[in-house]
Amino acid sequence: MGSDFAGLNSEPYSSSPSQPQLSRIAGRWRRLFAFVLDSLLLGVIGAVLGAVLYETFVQMGQWARLVGLVISLLYFSFSESAIGGGRSLGKRLLGLKVMNAQGAMLRFEESGLRFLLFGIPFFANGLSLPLKSGAVLFATIIGLVVFGLGGANLYLMLFNGQAHQGLHDIVARSYVVDARPDGVVIPRDVWKGHWVILGTFGVLLCTFPVFVMPKILNKGSFPEMMQVLKDVQKIQGVQTANVREVTLFTTGRQSSDRVFSIDVTWNGPEGDEVSLADEIAKEVLLDDKEIANYSKLRIAITRGYDLGIGSRWSSRAFAYSPGEWRQRVQ
Does one domain contain both 190 and 244?
A: no
Residues 66 and 183 reside in one and the same domain: yes
Whether residue 4 lies inside any domain: the answer is no
Give the pLDDT confidence score for residue 36 in this predicted structure: 96
Q: Based on the fold, state whether residues 53 and 190 are members of the same structural domain.
A: yes
How many other C-beta atoms are found inside a 10 Å radius of the C-beta of residue 281?
22
Domain boundary residue, one of 214, 246, 273? 214
Q: Which of 124, 115, 31, 123 is nearest to 73 (CA)?
A: 115
Is 209 found in the same domain as 271? no
**Same domain for 230 and 111:** no
132 and 229 share one domain: no
22 falls within a domain: no
| Torsion of Cα atoms, 100 then 103 then 108 then 109, to 10° | -30
Of 163, 128, 150, the C-alpha closest to 198 is 150
Domain boundary among the residues 183, 214, 245 is at: 214
Q: Rg (Cα) of the chain, in Å, rounded? A: 25
* pLDDT value of residue 13: 43
Check which CATH number belongs to the domain holding 244 and give it.
3.30.70.1350
Asked whether residue 133 is assigned to any structural domain, the reply reads: yes
Q: What are phi and psi of 299, to 5 degrees?
A: -125, 120
Residue 205, domain member (yes or no):
yes
| Contact assessment for residue 292 and residue 322, using Cβ atoms and an 8 Å cutoff | yes
Q: With contact defined as beta carbons under 8 Å apart, do 276 and 34 qualify?
A: no
* pLDDT at residue number 42: 97
Residues 208, 284: one domain?
A: no
Q: Which residues of the chain have pLDDT under 70?
A: 1-20, 129-136, 209-224, 250-255
Domain match, 202 and 229 both: no
Share of the chain above pLDDT 90, in %: 51
pLDDT for 10: 40
Residues 160 and 182 in one domain: yes
What per-residue confidence (pLDDT) applies to 257?
A: 81
Same structural domain, 210 and 226: no
Range of the domain at 160: 28-214
Q: Is 7 within the bounds of a domain? A: no
Closest CA relative to residue 283, chosen from 223, 206, 227, 217 = 227
In the chain, the number of structural domains is 2
